[in-house]
Structures are given as structure tokens and as C-alpha cells.
Chains A and B, each alone.
Chain A
Amino acid sequence: MIKKKIKNFYESLLFEKAVGFSVVFLIYKFLFPIQESPVSIIINEFLAIHILYFWMKYLPGKITVSRKTIPKIYQNIFFQTLLLLFLSLIFLNFIPNSKFYDAGFLREVGLLFISSIFLVLIIYIYAGFTKLFFYKQKPNAVSYFRVMVIFTLIIGVMNAFDPFVNSAAETGEGFFNILSLGYLIGWKNDFENIFQIALIIILVVNAFRVSWIAILNKKQKKTLAGLSFILAIVFIVLVVMFFENNKITKTAYLFSPTVFITSVTVLLYGAVYSTVVFFTAVFHIPTAEEADRATAEYSSLLEFGRMMSRIWDFEDLAVTILKLSQKISNADSVWLAIKKDDFELYTLGVGENNAASFTRKFLKKNKVNTAVVVRGISLSRDNQFKETLISPIKIKGKHTGYLFSAFKNSEETDEDLMRTISGLMDYVALAIENSELAKKSIENERMEKELELAREIQMKIIPDKLPAVKGIKVEARFIPAFEVGGDYYDFFNLGGKKIFVIADVSGKGMEASYIMAEMKGVLETLSAVSRDLKEMIIKANEIFVKRLSRKHFITAVFGEIDNETGIVKYFRLGQNFPLLLQKNGAEYIQSAGLGLGITASDKFLKNLEEVTVNLSENKRIIFYTDGVPEAKNDKDEEFGYDKLSQIADATAEKSMDEVMEQIITEISLYSQKKMQSDDITILMFEKKQTEK
């Protein structure tokens, strides 16, 4: 009963109590500026600890932490700390010592005022750190954090009651010299020593809670690296200031030893934490594994595809779906509701029983035909969700499944996420249909579904429109084979230049489409972090040698367009020789170059040959995949290279659109009696005629 009351006291009306205790403390301080008797020390520290407690509990609750606000939280810590440093320097240098030691009413008011401002800043900084500390941490983080707080309090209270401290505080000399050394090396008794060492250890351990850095994008990480570097230095300067015998430490000690020790701990934590943040941010910037959502999405698709062809059991499939969508959305809990007789639930991060009754009720009451965000859902005491994204899954034309992604924090769902999850749900729908077919063991239909999925992935990966490049005309055609052949083309930006890639991954069907999905993810990331095209190619090769099985490889051309000069630079990596239409006829340009993913040895680098073509001096350049020359007629003869160059010659004066039509028509005619067995991709560039 009493226990409950006490608990209630410390958990309700936080703001009112924080203000209340602060006011009482100020009045008390006016009446008894210096504490001499044990009783007055007890009252002083009792009030001080309560002020700390209520403000420190109240304030973090006011800060919302989400993907969007995290950089801001760190910025705020930065500015508050700078302000603290600024005020400390003013206090140290601009208040004359004579006034400081001249006891009297004015001095007490002044010191109290300064202490309060310092305290407010320290509490704000603390609140920011708490939020960062707890972002996406497991429940055990709470106990780690509590240990840190308890140790701080113990050391603070020990300081408050040390008779030596008190006599020194009274005379204002002697003890501070010892304190400065004593805090670290332990100057009182072994008992306190142990707590100090333990506090420092736990403080360092706790400083490694930096999982929030992973969600930042590259630019934010760069800013963070800068801020944390400065911040680490500022915190160290502040810590040193707070260790020395000066006006600040004396003032703080007079105010309350517990508050002083707490402040030092916060500053010390800030110094260690900022250092950790700095190194984490720096090491995160240039890696190819950067946790870009785009990469996560594509590699998830890849994983998904792999699972799909193996999973027959619906429950396994559900688990896969849940894990992947959680990986993409970062949701705290996800669950899947599939309509059978009633809604059947599959859950991750939340109990099935907890989610079931809400979900069934909700879905019976509401029709969810497009993705919606529902705010404020309470499933149980531990499962309070501020935002829940509900994405419908259309199976066989009907909405019979729903994915719930629930977030404990607000502002986690945005348009991007909704689109990404909806995209994933299209595949999930196919996967569910697929597994249902499997159950009925209709092998043919399953194969067809699998192909359909492979084709959908391919179509999603290939850009749906051509990029606008100033001064250069771009034309592309892609004709998929019935069985996905693994062709892929794409455009990226790298250091202000337009990069184009035309590739053919070995393998067919699902297998090929996973590799393509992976390739797009890898290239998207690499184009953001590479210095130039060559570096991008070398890194891509290293990744593919590792990622692809021995029998798989990728042939490609990677090129770069300079729209001002009309110069195209490219590297041919095992793909067919490009066809250059010069003023006096078409010619295949031969160059060295190994395919991607074959070898990581220096042979790859040695054979990397850059070819430069000036479009101002030539008519156009044609890149294509092996589906063009290897198209077969009914006698199994190949279309060949000569026919292609003849068409290019004959159509020299036509528009690229017409050239494309001509090539494709001729290939279709040639292989009309044969099913197209490989994808066909053609990419063309020419310089725009400057209008006069």
C-alpha cells in the first residue's frame, strides 16, 4: 500500500513536482546558504536529489525521438554544451575574485542564479543523451543506465557527508586541491574508490549505445562527425574545468555535492560518448555496406526471392515476410493477418494473443484498401504503439491479407516507407499465392508464378524512363525473354557526371533476377561513395567476387557521359564489343576487360581498359547485350555481328528511335520461328544537334 503510494508519487505530476522542489530548494538556500550540521546537509541533498530526479524524468519525455528528429537532438546537445562552455568561461574570467570571496546576500543570490542556469543546461544535455542512449536498444539497456545513475548518486552522497569536505567548504581552501586529484585516483576510502572505478567502467560501456547512427544518411553522418569532434573537445575542456580548484567547482560544491558529481558524470559521459560517436560516424561514412534504405530494400528483395523458391510451408514464409519488412521499416513490432475463416495472425516482436483481438476487431470494422497509418494503439501494457502502418496485401485480386508495422515512437512512418512497404507487399502477395499453389502441388503453375515474380523484379529494377542528359540523346530498348535472361541497364550520378551501365548477369529466371536486384543495390550505394568510375568498377568487382557463386558472373559496360564535350568514356567488362558508327561507317571497338565477379586478382585491374569516344566526331555509339548477335533462327544459326553493323550503316541518317525499330524488327523476323531465349537490350547515344 505504502509502496504503491511512493511509486505513484515518483511517477505522476512530474513537472509540478520538479517546479515545486526547485522553489523549495531556492528558499531553503536563501535561508541556509552554507550547510554545517548533518541535518541541514540531509535536507539540502534530499531536495537536490529530488530536483534532479523530477527534472531528469520529466524532460526526456518531452523530446520526441524518431528518424527525423535524431540529428536535431544531437545538434541541441551541441549548442547547449557550447553555451555551457561560454558561460563557464565568462564566469571564470569576468567575475573578479574579490567579489566572489566577499560573502554577503548579493553573492549568494548571484551564485544561486549561476548554479541554476548551469543545472538547467546540464539537465537538458542529460535529457538529449538519454534519448539517444535508448533509441532502438534492448530492454537490458535500462538496467545498465540505472546502474550508472545509482553509482553517481552514491558517490555524490558520500561526498556530501564527508566531514573533510564540509570543513573544507567552510574555510574555502585545502580540500579542493585534493579533490581535483582525488576524484580520479580515489582519495577517501577504498569503498568510494570501488564505486568510482565501477562508474567509469559502466560509463564507457554505456557510451557504445550508438545504434541511432546507422539510420542517418551520408550527409548527416558527415555533419555528425564534425559536430561530435568539436563536442568531444568541448566536453573534455569542461571536465577539466570541473576538476580544477576554481570558482565553478566551489560554487557547485556549495550548491550541492550530489548535483556537482552528477554534472561531472554527465560531462564525462559526454566526452566519452562524443568520442565514440565521432569514430563510429567516421567509420560508417565510406563503407559500401552503408545502411541505405534503398540497398536494404533491394537486398531484401534478393533474400526474399531466394527464400521464395525454397519455402513451401506457409508459416516459414510468414516469418520471412515479417523479418524482411521489419528490417526495412525498423518497426518495433510487425504482424501479419491473413483471412481464412477468421483472421489468422503471425507476429514478430509482440505476442499473438495481444495482437489478435485488436486486429480482428479493427479489420472487421474497417475496410483497408490502401496503406493507412493508425495512431495510438494499445495492445497491452508493454505494447503501446504511437504509429501503426497497415498495408493491405491483394491476393488473387482480393484484399485478404494485411501487414501491421507498429512503432512505439511517433513520426516514424513517412511516404517513402509506405511506398516501400507497399512495393514489398506486391511480392508478398505473389509469394503467398505461390505457396498456396505449392500446397496443391501444381508444379507448372508454380513455375509460371515464379517466372512472373522474376519478371516483375526485373521490370521494377530497370528504369521506367530515360534520364535527360543535356546535349546528348539517349535511347534504350529492352525486350525480355520469356524466361528472364538477366539483362539490366541503369543510370546513376557520380560526381556530377551521368553514369550508364548495361549488364547481363549469368543464369536465368529467379536466380538471374536476384543477382540483378543485388547489383542495383550495390551500384546505387557505390555510386554514392566512389570517387570515380574506375573505383566504382573495382569495388563492384570485389563485392561480386565475394557474393556470387563461382559459376556466376556479370558482363557489362560501365560508361560516363560528359555532356559538354560529348565525350563518352567506358570500360567493357566481358561484354560484346560496342558498335561505333563513324562518319565513314560502323565499326566494332575492341578493348580488353574481364567480366565482373570472376577474379579479384590484379588481372582484373590490369585488363581494365578505358575507351574514349568523342560523339562530336562520330555519329552514334551502340551498346547491346549478347541477346542481339546470338538471336537464333530455326536452323540454330545466329543473327551475328555483320547484320547488326549493316543495319547501323544503312540507318545512319535516321533517328535513333527508327534505328532501334529497325534492329528489333530484323531480329524478330530472323528468329520468328524460334522462341526468344535471351533478353535483348540496346543502348544508344548520340550528340544533340545544336540548334541555330
Chain B
Amino acid sequence: MEGFNAKIREADGVVILSLGGTLDAHTTGELEKVFEELISQGKYKIVVDFAELNYISSAGLGVFMAYVETMRENGGDIKFAALKENVFNVFDLLGFPVLYEFFDSVEKAADRFGEK
């Protein structure tokens, strides 16, 4: 079975969180830890890079729902970038693009933070 990994880097006060592998009920715990860690450091502007993520389940969606509001309440946001088609479809089915911002590249997503 394919694992899950998450890497963090920072650029101009924006955190780029790159995900890889499979995000499902068994791996959401790892992602939750990452978000908790970012919040404790006071980092609320986050771009999630989905380029290497191959699969997401509904439990995976729940993690983003759980943290987006916290980021927004603190003047930040979670922006979704570079999703593979099958992953985007899962978000789309649930209506996520209406509520959150999706971009085809990490750069565009990061720039969006600079505009405001």
C-alpha cells in the first residue's frame, strides 16, 4: 500500500505544504498533526500543493474542513493548488470550489495571498 507524506517549506510568509501518496482515513492523523503544529506556530497562510497526491477519501476532505475556518479566523486561509483530476473531482463533487479557492499552480495560489 502506498504511504502518505507531507513536506513544509516557507516563502514570503506563506507556508507551502506539499502532500504525496494517499490521504484516507488511515493517514489523516498525520495531516492533522501538521496543521496543529502550524497553528501552534501562528502560521495561518497556507498553500497546499497536491501535485504528488494520488488519492483522497472523504475522511481526507474532513481535515481541510476542520482547519480552514481556524486559518480564516486568524487572517489566513488554506488554498488548494495543482490537484490531479481525480483528486479535484472528489473536492468538486462535494462543492468545495464554491467555498474554497483552487489554483492550477502553487505560485498562483501563493500570489493570491500577496494581493490582499
Contact = CB atoms under 8 A, between A and B. Distances in A.
Interface size class of B (residues with CB under 8 A): 10 to 19
Nearest to A575: B93
B94 A553 contact: yes
Contact of A574 (B2, B62, B95): B95
A7 interface: no
How many of chain A's residues touch chain B, expressed as a range? 20 to 34
Interface stretch (B4-12, B39-47, B63-71): B63-71
A553 to B, nearest CB: 7
Interface string A43-78: 000000000000000000000000000000000000
Nearest to B66: A551
Given A551-B66, A636-B2, A574 B94 contact: yes
Nearest to A577: B93
A576 interface: yes
Interface in B22-66: 25, 55, 57-59, 61-63, 65-66
Given A574-B93, A594-B94, A599 B59 contact: no
Contacts of A555: 58, 93-94
A561 interface: no
B89 to A, nearest CB: 10
Contacts of A506: 58-59, 61-62
A550 B95 contact: no
Given A504-B58, A636-B2, A551 B63 contact: yes
Nearest to B58: A506
Given A507-B59, A626-B58, A553 B65 contact: yes
Interface of chain B, main secondary structure: helix
A626 B95 CA distance: 15
Contacts of B62: 506-507, 551-553
Contacts of B58: 504, 506, 553, 555, 626
A649 B25 CA distance: 34
A76 to B, nearest CB: 55
Q: Interface majority SS on A: helix, strand, loop or mixed?
A: loop
Nearest to A552: B62
Contacts of B95: 574, 592-595, 598, 607
Contacts of A595: 94-95
Nearest to B94: A574
Interface string A561-603: 0000000000000111100000000000000111100110001
A455 interface: no
A171 B63 CA distance: 88
B94 A603 contact: no
A508 interface: yes
Contacts of A576: 93
Contacts of A603: 98-99
Interface in A597-642: 598-599, 603, 607, 626, 630, 636
A681 B80 CA distance: 31
A680 to B, nearest CB: 14
Contacts of A607: 95, 98
Contacts of B66: 549-551
A599 B99 contact: yes
Contact of B98 (A504, A550, A594, A636): A594
B31 to A, nearest CB: 11
A593 B1 CA distance: 33
Contacts of B25: 508
A-B pairs, top 8 by smallest CB distance, nearest first, are A594-B95, A551-B62, A551-B66, A574-B94, A550-B66, A595-B94, A506-B58, A506-B62
Given A555-B94, A598-B95, 16 more contacts: A504-B58, A506-B58, A506-B61, A507-B59, A508-B59, A550-B65, A550-B66, A553-B61, A555-B58, A577-B93, A592-B98, A598-B65, A598-B99, A599-B99, A607-B95, A636-B1
23 contacts: A506-B59, A507-B62, A508-B59, A550-B65, A550-B66, A550-B69, A551-B65, A551-B66, A553-B94, A555-B58, A555-B93, A574-B93, A592-B98, A593-B95, A594-B99, A595-B95, A598-B94, A598-B95, A599-B99, A603-B99, A607-B98, A626-B58, A636-B2
